[in-house]
């Protein structure tokens, strides 16, 4: 429900699931948002869980049940508060969090950035240096939101803004954003030592000028890179104490369940989403707060944040009061998170050994189809031991490089593959004019493969079917690639008679 809107009772799930966030959710004439995804499954094999993608039918059914519950309630706001409490309970249980962990539920992963920034600003009048690691491989609006500015012209409460304008002038005026690359100019990953050194140098410089410093650790970028190291984060916390605030960007949702509490115990805030790996409808963000957060400081956050966060989406203990403006209910957020929570629960009901078995078979199938290919390059996965552990052992996102293809032509290829029934992760620019598509394993596919009451033989059969579909994807990719190369060759011949 947008601020002042009382008409949501008559709207469908398909309409409401695209509200309460920003323009990225608005569908075009074909029913798809700018990412090519929708709020119901499109029939394509779900291989794009590293980006905005369509939800599973399990998530959609849970969202629809939640919406019906709201519509039938005599007190929708009270019912909505209970739904959000249930979502938080699911996250605490499945992610093995302390029962007392404060969880803010946000309209998207981008909007999460505003909360730790506002908390840090509330605790001091000092300038703030906000360090984003791997800015090109995290959310597209992350750097803008991290500077205290609007990342879109449509705000979650339905009001409008100027993209790039300050959310709150005094807050944005105190923030300097610094971006630390995770790749060199040619697109090759930097070493962890080099990234750590660059982060350290920026932290030291900012701290020497009396700034408070907010440092982001990306726990799985769009292509699977983790940086900086966990050891560096620990050293910064020991050395600088409250002068530094640490945020683990786990928006991909690809950390081991116990890694979230591990990060919180290290004094980090953690952002996560229910709409990438876990397969809920886009978007659904969350911020997990470490213990010992001064709730009194949070109460003084800028009133303009009420356009992003309604009172019920923030932890009750925070007692945030933006004034009359925060007394609204984000129905879109409610139903998206209800669907994501159902999918998260289904995923963690899979035995860990089965999850690993599925991931191993998926990885083998991808490598068999793309490793050593003459026309498609499979990038080597990121490997380092000084990181938070992943949701399974080994990579779950695989980057495919197509020499000679630029960003526009790769977007065209992506659309062609969607029409063929394969939803991959959208193109990512990695540097040096290089772009990649991504093949990602996510919870919806893993649940589909794992589910069944036919024992090990049934699982073996479904694993084989999954591998056969990856084989078919490989054939489709090579077919499109050959057609494009042939067309390019004919074009050169015709232009040079």
Burial class (CB in 10 A: 0-12, 13-18, 19+), 110: buried
Q: Quick one: 252 and 368 in the same domain?
A: no
Q: Which two tokens stand for residue 141?
A: 């609006």
Is 65 among the domain residues? Answer: no
Torsion of CA 470, 471, 477, 478, to 10 degrees: 160
Q: What pLDDT shows up at residue 366? A: 96
Is 190 among the domain residues? Answer: yes
Q: What pLDDT shows up at residue 443? A: 97
Which one of 292, 319, 342 terminates a domain? 342
Q: What pLDDT shows up at residue 80? A: 95
Which one of 276, 309, 342 terminates a domain? 342
CA atoms within 13 A of residue 141's CA, in its CB half-sphere: 21
Q: What pLDDT shows up at residue 318? A: 85
Number of domains in the chain: 2
Q: What pLDDT shows up at residue 466? A: 94
Stated as kind and residue range, the H or E segment containing 303 is none
Query: In terms of C-beta distances under 8 Å and separation of at least 24 residues, what long-range contacts does 258-263 make, across chains too?
Result: 258/96, 258/389, 259/219, 259/388, 259/389, 260/95, 260/96, 260/97, 260/288, 261/95, 261/96, 261/97, 261/98, 261/101, 262/388, 263/219, 263/388
Q: What pLDDT shows up at residue 494? A: 62
Kindly report the CATH number assigned to the domain that includes residue 471.
3.90.1150
Is 68 among the domain residues? Answer: no
Is 110 among the domain residues? Answer: yes
Q: Quick one: 196 and 293 in the same domain?
A: yes
Q: Quick one: 336 and 452 in the same domain?
A: no
Q: Quick one: 419 and 273 in the same domain?
A: no
pLDDT, tens digit only, all 497 positions of the chain:
455 556 788 899 999 999 999 999 999 998 899 998 999 998 899 999 999 999 999 999 999 999 999 999 999 999 999 999 999 999 999 999 999 999 999 999 999 999 999 999 887 889 999 999 999 999 778 999 999 999 999 999 999 999 999 999 999 999 999 999 999 999 999 999 999 999 999 999 999 999 999 999 999 999 999 999 999 999 999 999 999 999 999 999 999 999 999 999 999 999 999 999 999 999 999 999 999 887 766 767 888 999 999 988 998 888 776 765 667 899 999 999 999 999 999 999 999 999 999 999 999 999 999 998 888 999 999 999 999 999 999 999 999 999 888 889 999 999 999 999 999 999 999 999 999 999 999 999 999 999 876 667 789 999 999 999 999 999 999 888 888 777 766 665 666 65
What domain range includes position 241?
78-342
Q: Quick one: 132 and 238 in the same domain?
A: yes
Is 56 among the domain residues? Answer: no
Which one of 342, 377, 395 terminates a domain? 342
Contact 474, 367 (CB under 8 A): no
Instruction: Specify the pTM.
Output: 0.95
Q: Quick one: 335 and 367 in the same domain?
A: no
Is 67 among the domain residues? Answer: no
Is 71 among the domain residues? Answer: no
Q: Quick one: 301 and 389 in the same domain?
A: no
- Please give the Cα distance from 202 to 468 (Å, whole number): 48
Q: Quick one: 141 and 214 in the same domain?
A: yes
Q: 244: which DSSP letter?
A: E
| Alpha-helical segments (H) within 227-294 | 230-240, 257-265
Contact 50, 222 (CB under 8 A): yes
Q: What pLDDT shows up at residue 42? A: 86
Q: Quick one: 330 and 461 in the same domain?
A: no
Q: Quick one: 238 and 93 in the same domain?
A: yes
Kindly report the CATH number assigned to the domain that includes residue 218.
3.40.640.10
Nearest alpha carbon to residue 202 among 234, 263, 244, 171: 244
Is 239 among the domain residues? Answer: yes
Spell out the SS3 assignment of 9-54: HHCCHHHHCCCCCCHHHCCCCCCCCCCCCCCCCCCCEEECCCCCCC
Q: Quick one: 151 and 245 in the same domain?
A: yes
Q: Quick one: 320 and 224 in the same domain?
A: yes
């Amino acid at each position: 429900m947008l601020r002042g809107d009382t008409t949501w009772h008559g709207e469908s799930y398909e309409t409401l699931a695209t509200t309460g966030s920003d323009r990225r959710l608005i569908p075009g004439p074909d029913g798809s948002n700018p990412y090519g995804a929708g709020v119901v499954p499109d029939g394509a094999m779900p291989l794009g869980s590293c980006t905005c993608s369509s939800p599973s039918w399990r998530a959609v059914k849970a969202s629809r049940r939640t919406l019906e519950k709201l519509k039938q309630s005599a007190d929708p706001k009270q019912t909505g508060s209970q739904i959000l409490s249930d979502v938080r309970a699911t996250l605490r249980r499945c992610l093995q969090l302390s029962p007392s962990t404060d969880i803010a539920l946000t309209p998207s992963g981008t909007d999460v950035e505003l909360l730790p920034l506002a908390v840090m600003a509330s605790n001091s009048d000092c300038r703030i240096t906000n360090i984003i690691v791997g800015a090109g491989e995290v959310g597209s609006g992350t750097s803008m939101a991290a500077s205290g500015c609007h990342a879109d012209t449509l705000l979650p409460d339905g009001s409008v803004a100027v993209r790039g304008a300050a959310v709150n002038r005094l807050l944005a005026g105190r923030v300097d954003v610094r971006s630390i690359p995770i790749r060199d100019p040619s697109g090759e990953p930097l070493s962890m030592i080099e990234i750590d050194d660059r982060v350290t140098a920026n932290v030291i410089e900012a701290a020497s000028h009396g700034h408070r410093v907010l440092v982001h650790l990306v726990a799985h970028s769009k292509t699977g890179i983790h940086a900086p190291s966990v050891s560096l984060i620990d050293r910064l916390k020991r050395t600088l104490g409250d002068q530094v605030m640490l945020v683990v960007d786990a928006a991909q949702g690809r950390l081991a369940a116990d890694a979230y509490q591990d990060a919180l115990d290290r004094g980090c805030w953690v952002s996560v989403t229910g709409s990438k790996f876990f397969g809920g409808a886009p978007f659904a963000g969350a911020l997990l707060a470490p213990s010992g957060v001064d709730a009194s400081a949070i109460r003084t956050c800028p009133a303009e944040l009420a356009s992003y966060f309604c009172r019920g989406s923030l932890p009750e203990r925070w007692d945030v009061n933006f004034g009359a403006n925060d007394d609204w209910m984000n129905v879109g957020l409610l139903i998206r998170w209800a669907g994501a929570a159902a999918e998260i629960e289904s995923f963690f009901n899979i035995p860990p050994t089965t999850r690993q078995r599925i991931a191993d078979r998926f990885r083998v199938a991808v490598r068999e189809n793309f490793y050593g290919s003459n026309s498609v390059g499979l990038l080597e996965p990121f490997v380092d031991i000084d990181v938070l552990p992943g949701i399974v052992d080994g990579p779950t996102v695989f980057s495919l490089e197509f020499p000679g293809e630029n960003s526009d032509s790769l977007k065209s290829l992506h659309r062609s593959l969607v029409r063929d029934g394969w939803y991959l992760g959208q193109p990512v620019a990695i540097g040096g004019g290089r772009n990649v598509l991504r093949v990602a394993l996510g919870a919806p596919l893993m649940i589909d493969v794992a589910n069944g009451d036919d024992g090990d033989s049934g699982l073996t059969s479904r694993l084989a079917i999954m591998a056969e579909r990856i084989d078919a994807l490989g054939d489709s990719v090579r077919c499109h690639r050959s057609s494009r190369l042939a067309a390019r060759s004919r074009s050169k011949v015709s232009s040079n008679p």
